[in-house]
Amino acid sequence: MQATAEPGGDTGPLGRQDPSLPQVFGRYLLVQRLSRGGMGEIFIAKHGLTGFEKLAVIKKV
């Protein structure tokens, strides 16, 4: 499985882009919102040096 997240490519359930992304959160760059509801949001994030970036999933509560 390979993620295809691109900065600024976050679209919500209605296909609208999220103008707040990409967004820095600590040492991570949030690039796409996966879900939100209740008290939290889940994002795909990048972290690491350019060329050696890793994808992570971040949950903000």
Q: What is the pLDDT of residue 51?
A: 81
pLDDT digit string, tens, across residues 3-60: 554 444 445 554 567 888 899 999 999 999 999 999 999 999 999 888 899 999 999 9
Nearest to 40 by CA among 19, 21, 57, 20: 57
Tokens (6 digits) for 30: 């949030």
pTM score, two decimals?
Answer: 0.66
The domain spans of the chain are 1-61
Q: What is the pLDDT of residue 32?
A: 94
Which residues have a Cβ under 8 Å from the Cβ of 40 and sit 6 or more positions away?
Answer: 59, 60, 61
CA dist 51 → 46, 47, 48 (Å): 11, 11, 8
